[in-house]
Amino acid sequence: MCGIIGCVSEKDCYGALYDGLKRLEYRGYDSAGIAVLDRELRIFKKKGGVSNLSAFYARGGTGIGHTRWATHGAPSDANAHPHRAGKIALVHNGIVENFAALRAELEGEGERFFSDTDSEIIAKLVSRAYRGDLLAAVQSALLRVEGSYAVAVIAEDRPGELVAAKRKSPLVAGKGSAGLFVCSDIPALAGTAEYIAQAEDGELIRIADGEIEFFDGALHPVPKTFFRPQEELRALSVAGGGYFMRAEIAEIPRALRDTLAALREKDFAPCARALRAAQRVFAVACGTAYHSALVFADIVEKEAGIPVLCHTAGEFRYRAPVLGTGDVLVAVSQSGETADTLEAARLARARGAYVIAVTNIGCSSLASLADFLLVMRAGAEIAVAATKSYNCQLLCLYYLAGQMLFFKEERLPSWWGSLERLPAAAEASFGCFAEVDRLADRLHGARAMYYLGRGLDLCTAREGALKVKEIARVFAEGYAAGELKHGSLALIEDHFPVVCISTGASLAKKSENALAEVKSRGGYCALFSQYPQVLQESCADAKCLLPALPEPLMPAVAVIPLQYFAYKMCLERGFDPDKPRNLAKSVTVE
């Protein structure tokens, strides 16, 4: 979602802020802005990309920057951050839930607003409370705010000082040779800040006199330990006008190897009692991560006979879930900052359940909530649409499922030894890309398409459909192949495209029946399978042979050509695969 950065430096900070905003672009944004303080407060903000700010420059060692993802108010120059009120400039990530009431109150007292945002309200509240003590003013203003926030604030008469605060939105502080920083994103500071510390909910940060201080909500000092950010969180570079998504697909074998090495070194003994005693397991996630959770649920139920209730995190706590002591909740989030997943984990902890987190960021909010943590080693993922992180989530969940079976029945699943083959199989799947290129050339004009699968292949179908929706803007639906005749077959007509994943031998003929139904009505069929005979006997128009692994592991390989297909469809349709319309990488608001 929105990205914020703040800097206090002995040098001019504009360049550091601009570079930080460029690193934050992957979070998703529709406008950007910078405020710099020297003798006076200067603000530059524009609708559109961060590059729009390159035409401006201001000298000064204190500043804040922002990339906005619109919630209240359409994308515009006026709604872009930073917002100014009197001597105060502020950037905000989050949502003010009592926005309407506060705005009506302030307007009734004569305040004039220059934007449609909820964030400007916080700036007004800080300005009203400010009497020379910026920390106290921010604390006082935020007492009136309901909802989520990470804010960074500077005052025109306080050069060299910056105050930040957080509730349910990520915020970190960092120290580096370029200055002292606050930022909404650890990867965005990797390479800039040599040491980082994370703020907890309700805490405030003050940068002044060359120091970073943390305070609780009552302004009592909070001791913090600064740590070095993980080297692997530094972003890939893409040369020659390439795209991060393509580079990140190419990174999948490396990411799987590194993740597997980390899992082999992980001691699962601390969670043994919880896994052994678990009567029920809940799995919660959003978007792509939810599809990995569906695979986990299927495998655990088949292998260990433990019921796994899989939910989208945004719906989980509103269902009044029946969970408590003795239950296990597995929460999956690439960033570890997904707001709905965090709330599900908090609910589970409050009910006494044991929380296991799977994330790419070991120092994230989700990591701090968990009783047990599995950190994938995907490395920084800049493209908004998840690719390599999905494959690594699956690997972590395979490993967790295997450990669950071991602690329950003192045995490992039959496919356990094949996990080491997964990176090589992922690399071999790149051999499908030539066929996928031809498929994208043929189908790029499609207005809609189905992805079909059964069993674990249905999870892959759903992820494939999500990818092509996200970046190629083609309506797509991942559908159970056996359900096609129960309504959706009505949409099949001449040349309607259907992609089928068929990696389960026992269900292959049933999936083929669905393709025959499509073909008889004029549809165009593409089939992906690791079984040559399945492809040979199929009526599909396009066929692609996948590398072979034990069937439970195939979702981590079968998805790769579908990720690449979405990428190619996106390019064919003239869009930017790294920055899909209306979407953000890290969804930090509900």
Report which of 103, 89, 193 is spatially closest to residue 151, judged by C-alpha positions. Answer: 89
For residue 292, give both structure tokens.
Answer: 């990995």
Residue 43 near residue 123, CB atoms below 8 Å: no
Buried b (16+ CB within 10 A) or exposed e, 458-479: bbbbbbbbbbbbbbbbbebbbb
Has residue 26 got a pLDDT over 70?
no
Confidence at 177, pLDDT banded by 50, 70, 90: confident
Confidence at 52, pLDDT banded by 50, 70, 90: confident
Please compute the mean of the pLDDT values over residues 207-211 and round it to a whole number: 94
Confidence at 414, pLDDT banded by 50, 70, 90: very high
Alpha-carbon distance of 476 to 491, in angstroms, equals: 12
Angle at 333 between CA 330 and CA 335, to 5 degrees: 145
Alpha-carbon distance of 198 to 171, in angstroms, equals: 6
Give the residue numbers marked as catalytic. Answer: 2, 585
Residue 380 near residue 245, CB atoms below 8 Å: no
The set of residues, in sequence order, having a beta carbon less than 8 Å from that of 418 and lying 6+ positions away, is 549, 550, 553
Question: How high is the pLDDT of residue 587?
Answer: 66
How confident is the prediction for the chain on average, in pLDDT? 91
Report which of 139, 135, 185, 202 is spatially closest to residue 27, judged by C-alpha positions. Answer: 185
Residue 382 near residue 579, CB atoms below 8 Å: no
Rg (alpha carbons) of the chain, rounded to whole number? 25
Lowest mean pLDDT among 151-155, 346-350, 467-471, 483-487: 483-487
The better pLDDT of the pair 107, 72 is held by: 107
Question: How high is the pLDDT of residue 588?
Answer: 55
Residue 291 near residue 395, CB atoms below 8 Å: no
Residue linked to tokens 């390019």: 571
CB neighbourhood size of 573 (10 A): 15
Residue 385 near residue 28, CB atoms below 8 Å: no
Buried b (16+ CB within 10 A) or exposed e, 526-537: bbbbbbeebbee
Lowest mean pLDDT among 74-83, 468-477, 561-570: 74-83
Please compute the mean of the pLDDT values over residues 234-253 and round it to a whole number: 77
Report which of 95, 107, 66 is spatially closest to residue 83, judged by C-alpha positions. Answer: 66
Question: How high is the pLDDT of residue 69?
Answer: 72
Confidence at 232, pLDDT banded by 50, 70, 90: very low
Q: Which stretches does DSSP call E strand in 412-456?
A: 448-453
Has residue 261 got a pLDDT over 70?
yes
Length of the chain: 590
Q: What is the tens place of the pLDDT at every residue in 501-528?
A: 999 999 999 999 989 999 999 999 999 9
Lowest mean pLDDT among 131-140, 276-285, 449-458: 276-285
Question: How high is the pLDDT of residue 488?
Answer: 82
Has residue 235 got a pLDDT over 60?
no
Question: Starting from the edge strand earliest in sequence, which strands make up the sheet with 62-68, in order?
Answer: 41-47, 31-37, 62-68, 3-8, 179-183, 172-176, 195-198
Residue linked to tokens 């699943």: 413
Q: In whole angstroms, how far apart are CA 143 and each of 71, 125, 148, 290?
A: 22, 10, 12, 35
pTM of the model: 0.83
Please compute the mean of the pLDDT values over residues 380-387 and round it to a whole number: 88
